[in-house]
Structure 1
Amino acid sequence: MKQQTLKSICLSKDVPELFVDVQTQRVFPDSKMFADASPKMDLCSIREKYLKLKNEQDVDLVAFVERHFDLPLDHDMQLSTEKMDVWTYIDQLWLTLTRRPDFDNSSLLHLPRPYVVPGGRFREIYYWDSYFTMLGLAKSGHVDLVEDMVENFASLMRNYGVIPNGNREYYLSRTQPPYFALMLQLLAKLRKNERLLLGYIDVMEAEYAYWMKGQERLTHSGDAHSRVVKLKTFFLNRYHDDLNEPRPESFFEDKQLEKQLKANKVNLFRDIRSACESGWDFSSRWFADKQDFSSIETTRVIPVDLNCLMHELEATLARAYTLAGNDDQATRYQGFAEHRKQAIQELFFNPEQNWFCDLNREDASFRPTKTLAAAYPLYSELATAEQAAVIAEHLQSDFLYPGGWVTSTARSDQQWDFPNGWAPLQWTVYRGLRNYGFEDLARKGAEAWLKNVTALYSRTGRLYEKYDVVNTERFADGGEYQNQYGFGWTNAILLKLEEGLNEQSQ
């Protein structure tokens, strides 16, 4: 895989003294603001000026930053809602969220084609967000933009050897849930051309190699290297950032957490970063103590949802090689997919709880937190009929609330826990239930979410990143930043659930 010379910057490395001072002194309430800034001149010159000034006198950090950097601008997502229903609003919002290829000297990684950002503080493309956004773009008739997004992710993999968390230099040490194979399936369906897969075999192969790197080193159950783990006779995957240092985009938050520790935690920053790789940043599913962020142990967790997505990648590679006439490779990847399906059914299903659970790396024991990750085996059609039936029962009794499906039954201060609901998981549960014939329950969940989201839109004129599904009169909170609005995957899943409900009514 050819590696591209980075044309973007990372202020934490290029002007480290200034970066640390700006972040630790909280010049901006959101650490991401300075991480995304663009220098007005050569960074070596800025650093030299800063160090000289700092040695001579107290520095007015705000004035220095304003003089030497352009700060990122957030696009206005608030359109007039007068006489505008939510569907018209979404159609107009796609234009607001679309970015054109550009060249600048910020931390942005260049993309060759137009792309859609989530909104708010998220000014760049995000990997797993984009799959759900693409579902909505397709429903809105923007098929060319779906293809543009696929090409952008292929470009990132071919140029950097990874589809990063987002197209920022500081995200290159981690990826996100591997949805590229599902993106290809979507595009092939839209173009009515399954042979389209053939043009991206190299990208899928590279992504698979990225996740399975170090597999040959693992000999005993519980062994792990990077993102691959051996459990019993199975090779499975976990989240694992390549770096163990504070996140540039959340530098202040990470350093504050480090100060609160009562004892040194060797992999604190890697575990934080690895949770970001999961997209569930943050959830008590990654914690040893549900109420203690500092107990985060993401790299110890073998997530059920990640391994379902890896099955999708293996099965799609098998299909692509079949189309290419390469029976040996098709058989090889089909074998990987079947072996992983066996692991999903045998290792991840907890017969005492009747639930698909995450696993602990060392001994394959079940993690205690119950989350909507359990819907992924239904979404990917990997569960047995008996397993799907008991999952559906527990979804109805433990997870369905007036505003939709709650992310987990654990109550914490984290945004991916009770009482919050998230658009991508609403879709995952909806499709998973329908895959196994639970039409009425799927409808109930979809109707609850649609009512919640559209009611809040009527009150505020905005579509949000996350929602409180327990008390629908309340704005969702939790996490490191305020609830953002825009919002790519919320817009998309609103469209798709409405489409699904109409389909069910026919």
Structure 2
Amino acid sequence: MWVPTWFIITCFGAQLAYASQTNPMDKIYYVETHHRSNHTLLSEMLNVNCTVAVCEGPLADIYCKGEILATAWYYGMENTCPGTRLAFPAAKVLANFNSLPKPVPKEIFAEYCRTNFIMVPYLQVAELPDWKPHPPAFRYIHDAKLLHLAEYIHEKWISLSRNFTADVWVNQTFYPVVPVPHPFIVPGGRFQVYFYWDSYWILKGLIYSNMFETAKGILLNFAHVIEYHGFIPNSGNIQLSRRSQPPLFAQMLEDYYNATGDKDLVRHLLPLLDKEMSFWKNNRTVSIIENGQNHTFYQYRAISDCPRPESYMDDYQAAAGLSTKDANTVWSSLASACESGIDFSARWFAPNGTRNKVQTNFIVPVDLNVFMARNFKLLAEWHNMFGEESLSSQYGYQASLLTSSIDNVLFSESDGTWFDYNLRTRGWQKQFFPSNIYPLMLKTEANSSICDSVVQYLDDVGALSFPGGIPSSFNNNTREQWDFPNTWAPSVHLFVASLSACGPSHKAYLIANESAAKFVFNVYESVVRYDKIWEKYDVRQSEGGTGSGGEYIPQYGFGWTNGAVLDLIRQFYTNESHISSFPLVEIMPNPNFTLPRRMYHDYDPWKDMSAETANSILVNDD
């Protein structure tokens, strides 16, 4: 029996957290807010001037915008109010609030919250009938340590499995969630509902675990969500329902189809994939004219221009002192950064800026356009498979056109790689991010010269010099979680996939192996040393230490790390792998190492680090 201990609010949405209060790593960090008794200030704070909230429907004025939400944040009650379930229909909950004196005294508001909301779990642990110990594919893992790691991760699927409680289905209008019919895997920690792009790596892991029924259920869940919303939102919480995440549904289906050959499921889901692509084409495109030619690209560009309800006070303060127009731009770009999944990073900020200078809506990101081009290619193949030649031709043309635009506009010949494009400055953003090399995945047989230039670029900027994986960026000034010194499973996995596209005979493939080995070893050490798999890791060391920064303490579980690591083991550490005897990389400090000074735009990850410290954590650069 699960008992809710507190209500968690993050960029990922409001979730129930279930955690032991005796384990110090289970304590939840809440952003400190300064609560004032001055009613004039309270009235001013409640008057947020924005036009497009983050959700629609009868629950919007309770969970997504308005005075209830603002008052809860102002009084520091945002973790319990509004609660996980309404006690009455939404109209009555609103009417009860409107009858209160204004400004609402704290004690009266607290009583209102106790009366009108209920703190109950909307999720429960789900049974996974296809979970069996010792998956057949694991017998090909030739390294005893990695077999232990794989078995450890496989066990985690049980504790991370969820489905919605019966009451959610009976009283759906009382809950701020969109329920789905089949069991799913949550990320873990404070993230206790389904999330879009997390599920891409979770599904890879489930497939390697021989859990095809659970994997199929996750795909059918997203089909249900598309039917409900017209696209796949960030997560199942309505507070995140008007922004999406990286569109990887088609590529999830590709993984499942390649593993099972289930054409019937592809046929069933194809119209819904078309619908999702229409959402992105109708709502997230932008044109760039380069050398007289018009290029259509895709952006992360959330529709909302209001503070995020899950981080209301942070967003409000980020826009403090700005004009209404500028505040709306900041709030929209913050939501768009969450849509990217990279929340937050210097990637979305103006140079030397922080969240108050976020500009996601003015960035054309490399990764999103690679994902869309891959989606178009897949849909072209599948429509052709079912004899739908017209649609196949359309998608094939879109894939070719977008791939060409990525190379013509985002590729820098002098640097040998691709960069995000800034619509304000009309130029590249030449900082290092792992996504800079993702277009390699679009090459059926990556051109050797392109692979050569990418390898040279990675060497020049020092991206391969860390023992724990691939850094998220080289900016260590923002203290955001998608910047230095953190490394993340999604980025490492996509980085490895990109280099692998160069083929096993190219040096890039060896670098892919080494990058995978560093990260997998780091994760293995976190299991041995801490009995945990983290959401993010510290790239500067290989001892399993967690990453840091961002809006909350490090989380563990962890869905996408589990899935990515299992897939990397499958690729590089089984008897069926391309390089079956590839060993774990031994990380040794180099006493003769000198600090590299090769970073773009003065982004120096070693700025606050002594030479002795750097030498002790960096891999041999020879």
Common fold: TM-score over 0.5: yes
More helix by share: 1
**Among the aligned pairs, what percent are the same residue?**
27
- Superimposed CA distance per residue, residues 129-187 of structure 1 (whole angstroms, 9 cap, x where no aligned partner): 10111001111111111111111111111121111111122222111111011011111
Question: What residue number does 1:452 align with?
Answer: 522
Report the secondary structure of 1:259's partner residue: coil
Distance between the aligned counterparts of 1:43 and 1:158, measured in 2?
24
Report the secondary structure of 2:431's partner residue: coil
Distance between the aligned counterparts of 1:75 and 1:505, measured in 2?
40
1:466-485 correspondence runs (5 A): 466-472=536-542, 474-485=545-556
Distance between the aligned counterparts of 2:486 and 2:320, measured in 1?
28
Distance between the aligned counterparts of 1:10 and 1:34, measured in 2?
14
Task: Pick the aligned partner of 1:426 from 492, 497, 513.
Answer: 492
The answer to whether structure 1 residue 414 and structure 2 residue 475 are counterparts is no
- Superimposed CA distance per residue, residues 378-414 of structure 1 (whole angstroms, 9 cap, x where no aligned partner): 2333764322222223334522211001111222211
Task: Pick the aligned partner of 1:251 from 312, 324, 338.
Answer: 312
Question: What residue number does 1:289 align with?
Answer: 351
1:26-425 correspondence runs (5 A): 26-28=76-78, 34=81, 37-54=84-101, 58-60=105-107, 61-62=109-110, 64-71=112-119, 85-102=148-165, 103=168, 104=172, 105-194=174-263, 196-213=265-282, 226-232=283-289, 233-259=294-320, 261=322, 265=326, 266-361=328-423, 364-381=426-443, 384-396=447-459, 398-400=462-464, 401-411=466-476, 412-425=478-491
Report the secondary structure of 1:240's partner residue: coil
Question: What residue number does 2:71 align with?
Answer: 21
Distance between the aligned counterparts of 2:407 and 2:104, measured in 1?
65
Question: What residue number does 1:505 align with?
Answer: 580
Distance between the aligned counterparts of 1:343 and 1:331, measured in 2?
18
The question of whether the paired residues in 2 share the 8 Å contact of 1:35 and 1:249 is answered with no
Distance between the aligned counterparts of 2:325 and 2:262, measured in 1?
54
The question of whether the paired residues in 2 share the 8 Å contact of 1:39 and 1:106 is answered with yes
For 2:154, the aligned partner's letter is D
Q: Residues 113 and 471 from structure 1, CA distance in 2 versus in 1: closer, same or farther, beyond 3 angstroms?
A: same
The question of whether the paired residues in 2 share the 8 Å contact of 1:14 and 1:43 is answered with no
Question: What residue number does 1:79 align with?
Answer: none
Q: TM-score, normalised by structure 1?
A: 0.88
1:13 CA displacement:
5.3
The question of whether the paired residues in 2 share the 8 Å contact of 1:75 and 1:96 is answered with no
The question of whether the paired residues in 1 share the 8 Å contact of 2:88 and 2:116 is answered with yes
Task: Pick the aligned partner of 1:442 from 501, 512, 516.
Answer: 512
Distance between the aligned counterparts of 1:17 and 1:261, measured in 2?
21
Distance between the aligned counterparts of 1:241 and 1:56, measured in 2?
32
For structure 2, list consecutive stretches of 5 or more residues without a partner in the other structure. 1-54, 126-144, 582-622
- Please say which of residues 165-174 and 257-266 is displaced more in the overlay: 257-266
Question: What residue number does 2:16 align with?
Answer: none
Report the secondary structure of 1:267's partner residue: helix
Distance between the aligned counterparts of 2:185 and 2:501, measured in 1?
29
For 1:391, the aligned partner's letter is V
The question of whether the paired residues in 2 share the 8 Å contact of 1:146 and 1:187 is answered with yes
The question of whether the paired residues in 2 share the 8 Å contact of 1:290 and 1:410 is answered with no
For 2:339, the aligned partner's letter is E
Question: What residue number does 1:488 align with?
Answer: 559
Root-mean-square deviation (CA, aligned residues, Å) is 2.7
Distance between the aligned counterparts of 1:470 and 1:415, measured in 2?
14
Distance between the aligned counterparts of 1:483 and 1:475, measured in 2?
7
Distance between the aligned counterparts of 1:75 and 1:200, measured in 2?
27
Distance between the aligned counterparts of 2:325 and 2:273, measured in 1?
39
Distance between the aligned counterparts of 2:210 and 2:258, measured in 1?
14
Distance between the aligned counterparts of 1:175 and 1:192, measured in 2?
28
Q: Residues 66 and 482 from structure 1, CA distance in 2 versus in 1: closer, same or farther, beyond 3 angstroms?
A: farther
Distance between the aligned counterparts of 1:57 and 1:194, measured in 2?
58
For 2:218, the aligned partner's letter is M
- Please say which of residues 41-50 and 340-349 is displaced more in the overlay: 41-50
For 2:449, the aligned partner's letter is E
Aligned length: 481
The question of whether the paired residues in 2 share the 8 Å contact of 1:8 and 1:109 is answered with no
Distance between the aligned counterparts of 1:421 and 1:347, measured in 2?
28
- Superimposed CA distance per residue, residues 97-127 of structure 1 (whole angstroms, 9 cap, x where no aligned partner): 1112442532110112111111122111111
Distance between the aligned counterparts of 1:107 and 1:144, measured in 2?
28
Q: Residues 142 and 7 from structure 1, CA distance in 2 versus in 1: closer, same or farther, beyond 3 angstroms?
A: farther
Distance between the aligned counterparts of 1:364 and 1:206, measured in 2?
31
For 1:369, the aligned partner's letter is Q
Distance between the aligned counterparts of 2:325 and 2:288, measured in 1?
29
Distance between the aligned counterparts of 2:312 and 2:436, measured in 1?
32
Q: Residues 98 and 386 from structure 1, CA distance in 2 versus in 1: closer, same or farther, beyond 3 angstroms?
A: same
For 1:421, the aligned partner's letter is T
The question of whether the paired residues in 1 share the 8 Å contact of 2:58 and 2:90 is answered with no
Distance between the aligned counterparts of 1:199 and 1:115, measured in 2?
20
Q: TM-score, normalised by structure 2?
A: 0.72
- Please say which of residues 18-27 and 57-66 is displaced more in the overlay: 57-66
Distance between the aligned counterparts of 1:126 and 1:395, measured in 2?
31
Distance between the aligned counterparts of 1:234 and 1:362, measured in 2?
16
1:330 CA displacement:
1.4
1:14 CA displacement:
7.9
1:234 CA displacement:
1.7
For 1:419, the aligned partner's letter is P
The question of whether the paired residues in 2 share the 8 Å contact of 1:35 and 1:248 is answered with no
